[in-house]
Structure formats: structure tokens, C-alpha cells
Amino acid sequence: MAGRLLAVSDLHVGYPENRAYADALSPGDSGDWLIVAGDVGEVFADVGFVLASLANRFAKVIWTPGNHELWTLPSDPVTLRGAARYEALVKVCRRFGVLTPEDEFPVWDGPGGPVTVAPVFALYDYSFRADGSAAHGAAADRRSAALAAARKAGIRPADEGRLHADPYPSAAAWCRDLVAAAERRLDDVAGPAVLVSHWPLVRDPVTALRHKEFAPWCGTALTAGWHTRHQVVAAVYGHLHIPRTTCYDGVRFEEVSVGYPREWQRRGTAAPGPRVILDGSLLWFSAGGALAELFARRREGVFA
């Protein structure tokens, strides 16, 4: 039987304080699994080293990329861009036994029955708006409007010029293919599942952003129905650096980011520990037919 299913994201190990935090991460039980929901770091070698180190400590490590792993920086000896960079990271993960969105989804065998852990890579397509609604029109027009709004607000989206979509003509085009591929795989999942994405699957969380003009770089409206279409126990994400638990349409959403030192130091003296996603002691999960009843209520549109 598995230990706990834990999750963390946005380690950003380029900061010494965060590197020390990642180096100190350890399981509470030999059976603990760890989800790493993107943004380990920007330098290719750092990402591989940290994930390999975690794989030596935890029973299973499951990774999905964030935007920072996909950056190609002038200072990084690895100059791969776009899809080629992602594919190279997947190869590194497989070398050290770290599971990725390209691998068979693992099944966490808890006391309430098996739960599939499904890491997905969806990226973004500028369809999230600052007010939390969906933007319409051509992707190129959405990007132009997003950049104009960012300039007016005096902010600069860090992905622009760093995250490349090669061989796709744009991030939005890459996103469209990624979402289609993920949907095909999710349709084959039977039974309860935990969905894992770096970007939130729904628009609602972006309304909490301090600078809401960053919203277009925070996800895609194409994933909006995933949490209700499937038997989702929890949806895990990061990216926003606003760690919290919320509920949308009766589904628990867990934002599990560590964030930059200046952020977590404002909240306390230490970075937040990994979030417990599944644990046999959690009543909502271990109580007999509670899951079946929950999914039945969702199908009827009852979310309370």
C-alpha cells in the first residue's frame, strides 16, 4: 500500500534559499510519493539534478513541466528550444525513474481504492483574461492584446523571449496540440484521478493575482471542463505562487507552489512544506463509498 501522495511546485532552485529547501525535502514515510508540478528551475542541468535527487528519496516522483523549465537562456549550455527541450527533459526524467506526462499514468493504491495520478502538460494560449473570463478571437490577437495590457500596466511577462514554441509557430499552437493529446489520454482513465498541471485548469484562480495582467500566461480555457468530465479527486497546480486550497464545481483544487524567497518569507519564516493530496487518514477519501456518492452528486449538478 502506498504512503501519502504529496505535492509541491515552483521550487525555483536558482535561488540559494530554495535550493536548500529542495535539498532538504524528504518523505515522512518510505512509501510517500511526491508530485513536482513544474518550475523546478530554469537551467537544464539543475532541473535534472534536483528531480534525480528527489527520486532517490521518495518512493515515486511525478513531474510535469512549468514555463521556467522550458526557457532557453543564454547562460544555459543546453540550447534546445521548445518541444525539443521538453523531450530532452523527459529523457532525463526517465533515466532516473521520474514519471512525466509522456509515461503511463501511475496508480496510487490507497485504503479507499486505487486513484490514477495524471500529470498533464497543457501550456497556455492567452485565453485567460485579467477579470477571470475567457478571451475570444484569434490567438495572435489575444497575445497582442495581452502584451498591450501588460505594457500599459508597466509589467513584462517573463516568458516572452525566453519560452520558445519550436517547431510550432506559437505557444498557442503548441498548447492546442498538447491539450488534444492530453484529452485523448484522460479519456482512457477509468475511476478516480488526481489531475496535475503546472497551470490551473480553470480561470477562477487567476482573479487572485496581484497583477492580473499576467492572466493570459496562466492557462487555457481549453481545459475548463476536465475537472468535471472525469472523476477527479483533486486538481493540483502551481504557477501563481498563491498556495491555497479552493473548490470549484465540487472539486478540490490545490495550489502547491513554494515561490520565490521574497514571497514565502513574507508569509512566514520557512517555505511551505509539500501539500498532502491523498492520505489514508483523510475521512473524505477513506470513508467507504464516499467517492462514488461525490461523483454521483456532481453528475446531478449538486456541488455542496
pLDDT in tens, the chain (304 residues): 568 999 999 999 999 999 999 999 999 999 999 999 999 999 999 999 999 999 999 999 999 999 999 999 999 999 999 999 999 999 999 999 999 999 999 999 988 889 999 999 999 999 998 765 667 778 888 899 898 999 999 999 999 999 999 999 999 999 999 999 999 999 999 999 999 999 999 999 999 999 999 999 999 999 999 999 999 999 999 999 999 999 999 999 999 999 999 999 988 777 888 999 998 755 344 333 455 555 555 545 544 4
Number of domains in the chain: 1
Residue 24 domain flag: yes
3-state secondary structure the chain: CCCCEEEEECCCCCCHHHHHHHHHCCCCCCCCEEEECCCCCCCHHHHHHHHHHHHHHCCEEEECCCCHHHECCCCCCCCCCHHHHHHHHHHHHHHCCCECCCCCCCEEEECCEEEEEEECCCCCCCCECCCCCECCCCHHHHHHHHHHHHHHHCCCCCCCCCECCCCCCCHHHHHHHHHHHHHHHHCCCCCCEEEECCCCCCCHHHHHCCCHHHHHHCCCHHHCCHHHHCCEEEEEECCCCCCEEEEECCEEEEECECCCHHHHHHHCCCCCCCEEEECCCCHHHHCCCHHHHHHHHHHCCCCC
Residue 212 domain flag: yes
This model's pTM is above 0.75: yes
CATH number of domain containing 32: 3.60.21.10
Domain residues for 22? Answer: 5-299
Residue 304 domain flag: no
Residue 227 domain flag: yes
Residue 151 domain flag: yes
